[in-house]
Structure 1
Amino acid sequence: MIAEKAVLGAMLKENYLITESNLNVMQFTDPVNKMIFQSMIELRKAGKTVDMITLLTSYSPQDLGGANYLNDLTNYAHLERFDNHVGELLDVWREREKKNVLHVSAHEDWSIDKITAELTALTDNRVNDHSDILSMLVDVYEDAFIEKDIKEGAPSGIDKLDDMTNGFQDGELTILAARPSMGKSDVMLHIAKQSGWKGYLPIIFSLEMSDSSLRDRLIASTGRYSRSRMRNPYSMLTDRQKEIWPQAIGLLSETKIQIFDRSRQTVPEMRMKIRKMMSEHQGMKPLILIDYLTLIHSDENKQNMHLQVSSITKELKAVAREFDCPVITLAQLSRAVEQRQDKRPIMADLRESGSIEEDADVIVFLYRDAYYTKDEDDNLMEMIVAKNRNGPVGTAVAQYNKYTGEVLNGEPISERVVV
């Protein structure tokens, strides 16, 4: 019953898991665990916090196994492995129910069809992935004759890029790749801001930079401050720049950006945090941004880096599908780029490129010619869409200010920003 204890312990720590798990009482085996889960559901429905104190004061401690048993449950909790423990619990329940179906069917002489239907139903308790083509066709029967609004994805704020991708789409994995110092993190933060202002919930997993570093970058690009001045805003900002500081802070607060900056995070850990943020921000569609791919920690003991990256990209694609949201992860390019005369990236430049090419729905490379020419007047950034599973490929051009981190769609930055 360790899986049951781990599930209940996690629910005591994070109450939103009580309803998010989609479990029911009969799927637990131990009678005490059933009673605890039923009590949790009732308290949750009543709008009460579910913890050891409320359980013991609201119900008979003896029915719940006593204070020591409840306290012990939290020792089994492992939030990052919650989904695995739920799966183990369900496997035990299915095996128990399968034996029960076969026992009853033998005594009551069920037909093969009824036995098959009952056994099949055991696999449908969490996810129904069946679609009937007829009902699907009915949904789109009038699409050729009646104009409908086209669903746009999370915006990048760069018109041509959004034209090619129709925004970052739900259920899709996008790889944003470049060599160091090309502006990957600034583009990620730009996308986070743009999507946040459009009602998305941007969730950033920063495996390299701290949350305060990201905060300062966000303020700099929004207020058009040189990042060097962000080291000491009080003494280094001009009076005019200080005047717009509250406005920049206010604009940023509207994005609802969430940042998790612990290094060596795993995909299961990210999944748990996403679920928690969605519970706390009901009705908001998440946009997941990860900086960056090869810093994601894998629990699996794979010596081969290619196998690790392959496993991680497949997990990220599954996250996009599970939460029906866009997932964007940054990636580094190999040094092979530097050996060519034309240093614009190609697919082969992706580190461990085979698995990334296979799993990604969209791959965007960033390239700045000024990085190599050292031309201070050149602020163009090319966004090269090298793969687009559901749309065209091509290049979008943005304006980029390396001093402030601002990314723009319009007129040259040099004419707009005070550095």
Structure 2
Amino acid sequence: MNSVRDIEQYHPGNEEKLLRQILEAESMILGAVLLEPGVIGDITLEEKHFSQWHNRRIFAAMRAVEEKGLDVNPVTLVDELREDVEQVGGVQFLLELAAHCPTAANVAHFESLVLKQYELALIRDSAYEFLRDYTPESAHDLYKALASMKPHMTHQEESKKELMVELYESLYHEREGLPGVATGFESLDALTGGWKEGELIILAARPSMGKTAFAIQLAWECIKQDGVALTFSLEMSSRQVMQRLLSSLTGINMMKWNNPYKYLTVDEMPKMHAALNDVYKSDFELSQNGMITLQEMRQQILTLKQEHPDKPFLVLIDYLQLITVKGRFDRHDLAIGYITKELKGMAREFGIPIILLSQLSRGVESREDKRPRLTDLRDSGNIEQDADVVLFLYRDDYYHTDTKSGREVEIKIAKNRNGPVGTVKVEFMKEFGRFVGRKGRMMEH
């Protein structure tokens, strides 16, 4: 395989054994992709993480083939590499990569090794610059390099001993607050205990029920607890999400965003200024890439979690059916199942709750009682299996204009893996996209 002499100078270490391990790990990763093309969707490495130009070029070509929706194999790879084929070692070298890798099962281990050595290289280079030219800039670069070395599996598994000690101590010490991130509604918190670490929460409803507005409000509730909320908006632009949040916080009609300079009153302007300032200073983060992949989501979550390892953390994805899946699936439900399984894995890996919005099938409309059921989830088998909590929103006034329920919204907990199910009733102020308790009192921002 690759010669140790080929490794580029920037890479860390000068021990032949270490260098061989790095090169072997890189070869195993590339070989695993050729052996089982689907694993490339699980790899979080980037082109820059590979130690040699040859391997970086091959991996970049693999990514390019994947983005075209094709299987990564020697034929598609040669076509993508074109004139660089011979420079990376030729067709024979690509075939040897696949033959040299016995299984793709250990790709995560090799990926961790390559990433660790890359980070050590960054630290080495930053430390060298710091010692050579002591400046605030070089000190900052060194700090950033050291910060990047925080554990990637931010949620470390407890040992049996640690777990038993923690459970024992809980018998004699009253818990302060909720076990999870508060929802902002006491009745909902009583049933769920808040959104807990490692949970995948499904929030589903028919269109125009207010699920995006409700999800944004839940995200802001995490911010109010000095937390971090990362929202992946695959349908709306960042501007639209921000306008909804600001209207919700201020109680100002969303229609006024069509021309705020003209329509905002003298009394409303200071409220909007205050809300803008609050959101600007907060850790309310937005990603509006409509073609985002699971791999890209994982990387953004990882980066933000490393920056805020000890804060309450909530991820919101709007919505499931718009997530881009790399690879081919015989049926749509298999693709959906792959997505929910991966997201559940991320929730456990990073020790965070993930709220995933989902559509409901049109079968709801054909029933007399249009309250959602678990069977109404599109591709419900996979979604229901992976979810820890399933929430449905239902507004009777959407279907019956003469209803006596007025603004009432039913939040139905149809599944709760670690608690009871039930229905919580709130009110929806549709004009500014805000949910309030039955007493009608808006929560302060």
CA offset at residue 385 of structure 1? 0.2
Cα distance in 1 between the residues matched to 2:19 and 2:193: 43
Superposed counterparts of 1:17-36, under 5 Å: 27-29=21-23
CA offset at residue 152 of structure 1? 2.5
2:413 is aligned with 1:385:
yes
Task: Identify which of 394, 398, 402 aligns with 2:426.
Answer: 398
Task: Identify which of 204, 211, 215 aligns with 1:177.
Answer: 204
3-state SS in 2 of match to 1:28? helix
> 1:370 is matched with which residue?
397
CA offset at residue 92 of structure 1? 11
> 2:263 is matched with which residue?
236
Deviations 1:223-269 (A, max 9, x none): 11111111110001111111211112123234411111111212111
Cα distance in 1 between the residues matched to 2:388 and 2:108: 31
For structure 1, the residue ranges without an aligned partner over 5 or more in a row are 13-17, 19-23, 34-51, 53-63, 95-124
3-state SS in 1 of match to 2:270? helix
CA offset at residue 89 of structure 1? 7.0
Q: CA contact under 8 A between 2:425 and 2:438: conserved in structure 1?
A: no
Cα distance in 2 between the residues matched to 1:126 and 1:226: 43
Task: Identify which of 298, 316, 319 aligns with 1:271.
Answer: 298
Cα distance in 2 between the residues matched to 1:373 and 1:27: 67
Deviations 1:34-56 (A, max 9, x none): xxxxxxxxxxxxxxxxxx9xxxx
Q: CA contact under 8 A between 1:175 and 1:360: conserved in structure 2?
A: yes
1:375–1:195 distance in 2 versus 1, CA, 3 Å: farther
Cα distance in 2 between the residues matched to 1:147 and 1:88: 40
Cα distance in 2 between the residues matched to 1:310 and 1:77: 25
Superposed counterparts of 1:4-403, under 5 Å: 27-29=21-23, 87=107, 90=110, 133=160, 136-149=163-176, 151-375=178-402, 378-403=406-431
1:71–1:225 distance in 2 versus 1, CA, 3 Å: same
Q: TM-score, normalised by structure 1?
A: 0.70
Cα distance in 1 between the residues matched to 2:352 and 2:394: 27
1:267–1:74 distance in 2 versus 1, CA, 3 Å: closer
1:148–1:160 distance in 2 versus 1, CA, 3 Å: closer
Q: TM-score, normalised by structure 2?
A: 0.66
CA offset at residue 147 of structure 1? 3.2
Q: CA contact under 8 A between 1:193 and 1:252: conserved in structure 2?
A: no
Cα distance in 1 between the residues matched to 2:254 and 2:339: 33
- 2:110 partner amino acid: L
For structure 2, the residue ranges without an aligned partner over 5 or more in a row are 13-17, 28-47, 68-103, 115-150
1:70–1:214 distance in 2 versus 1, CA, 3 Å: same
Cα distance in 1 between the residues matched to 2:319 and 2:299: 18
How much identity, in percent, do the aligned residues show? 34
3-state SS in 2 of match to 1:205? strand
1:238–1:77 distance in 2 versus 1, CA, 3 Å: farther
Deviations 1:172-216 (A, max 9, x none): 100000000000100010001111111221001111111111011
1:366–1:245 distance in 2 versus 1, CA, 3 Å: same
3-state SS in 2 of match to 1:288? strand
3-state SS in 1 of match to 2:23? coil
Deviations 1:367-401 (A, max 9, x none): 01111122598111110000000001001111111
> 1:45 is matched with which residue?
none
Deviations 1:320-361 (A, max 9, x none): 001000000000111111111111111111100001111100
> 1:111 is matched with which residue?
none
3-state SS in 2 of match to 1:306? helix
> 1:98 is matched with which residue?
none
1:74–1:411 distance in 2 versus 1, CA, 3 Å: same
Moved more, 265-274 or 355-364: 265-274
Cα distance in 1 between the residues matched to 2:431 and 2:284: 22
Cα distance in 1 between the residues matched to 2:159 and 2:265: 64
> 2:75 is matched with which residue?
none
CA offset at residue 130 of structure 1? 7.7
- 2:384 partner amino acid: E
> 2:36 is matched with which residue?
none
Aligned-CA RMSD value = 4.0
